[in-house]
Amino acid sequence: MSWQGVEGHDAVVEQFRRALERGRLASTFLFVGPPGIGKRTLALKLAQALLCQQHDATELASCGHCANCVQVLAGTHPDLLEVRKPTDKSSLPVELFIGSRERRMQEGLCHDIRLKPFMGGRRVAIIDDADFLNEESANCLLKTLEEPPPRSVMILLGTSADRQLPTIRSRAQIIRFDPLPVELVADLLVSRQVVTDRAEAVRLARHSEGSLSRAEELADPELWKFRSELLSRLADPALDSGRWTKALVAFVEAAGKDATPRRVRARQVIGFAIEFYRHLVRRLSGAPVSADEELQSATAAAAQAWKGDAEAAAACAQRSLDALAHVERNANQATLLECWLDDLARIAARGVPLAGIG
Ligand SMILES: [Zn+2]
């Protein structure tokens, strides 16, 4: 079942349907779940339903044709406010909430949400990338959440409740989104013509962690070619990090001129390494391993040559998770990748976690 093209989140839709029916919609929501699974899509559809003129306020429905619906769909509705992290910033700047220095408290989301609805009804705000609220922005937002303006609805979108300040968390109704099932991701890849082959769609979906946008990003043959090379390098305890860094940085930079596609690629490559080390940990500790053929043979080779124990492999996985967190925070990619590979090479060469290397 899908509601307004929102797939895989029937329980969440149902929860909103019931809240509206009873006239008991909260004023602040925190949507949490992996990126790319439809949180923002659902937030926008919800906004459309709340603003639609053709449907009663107790109904979770929108007509798609009225002036309100048309403007929501076009992204121009004056009562729908949306902020997100600019691609060149590492956090949500405070200006988005309280205006520029010259126009403090005269613009920005915290100001605008207090205005009377232009087209009747309500005002709805969507705060995307809520994981990246900095302290200043969070404090400004908090003041608004403490006394939400009447008829306002605010929806924060983040990956986990733990990544939000407790003060924000406690003022929001938390709505958890599950990763999408593999079958659904595969269906969507085919129906959106990202790939034509169903088996290929399933393969990408398996690597997507239940995220459609990740699965779409993975539909890149270059990436899989690079993965083969990466796996064989990682399986070699004499990893030449200096030479290999150049190849890695060149591959990441070839994704495009902008920060976003480069970040996506860095994330993908580090993600492959995490997968590799996790499987290696399982293999070294005698746990059953199920993976694609390439990963199977790479971890088998690595386990043969590995100098340390499962703990050292776990340290590599952890080091890779740290690197991943830094990619999201928009650090200098080349330096980040260099330090990461360097640390992996040091752990692999000695077979002990870094803390044990003098
Ligand atoms: Zn409508």
Cα separation of 348 and 352, whole Å? 7
Distance 154 CA to ligand 1 centre (A): 20
Distance 16 CA to ligand 1 centre (A): 18
Distance 78 CA to ligand 1 centre (A): 15
Burial class (CB in 10 A: 0-12, 13-18, 19+), 318: middle
Distance 223 CA to ligand 1 centre (A): 42
Distance 55 CA to ligand 1 centre (A): 7
Distance 179 CA to ligand 1 centre (A): 30
Contact 126, 80 (CB under 8 A): yes
Distance 36 CA to ligand 1 centre (A): 26
Distance 63 CA to ligand 1 centre (A): 4
Predicted pLDDT at 328: 76
Report how far apart, in Å, the C-alpha atoms of 192 and of each of 5, 76, 184, 213, 265 are. 12, 26, 12, 12, 22
Distance 35 CA to ligand 1 centre (A): 28
Q: How far is CA 351 from the centre of its chain?
A: 33
Which structure tokens are listed for 113?
């949400």
Distance 15 CA to ligand 1 centre (A): 21
Predicted pLDDT at 22: 96
Q: Which amino acid is at 200?
A: E
8-state DSSP, 133: B
Which structure tokens are listed for 110?
């915290």
Cα separation of 125 and 43, whole Å? 9
Predicted pLDDT at 281: 96
Distance 69 CA to ligand 1 centre (A): 4
Predicted pLDDT at 350: 87
Predicted pLDDT at 289: 83
The ranges of the chain with pLDDT < 50 are 358
Distance 68 CA to ligand 1 centre (A): 6
Predicted pLDDT at 356: 57
Distance 2 CA to ligand 1 centre (A): 19
What predicted TM-score, i.e. pTM, was given to this entire model? 0.87
Predicted pLDDT at 240: 82
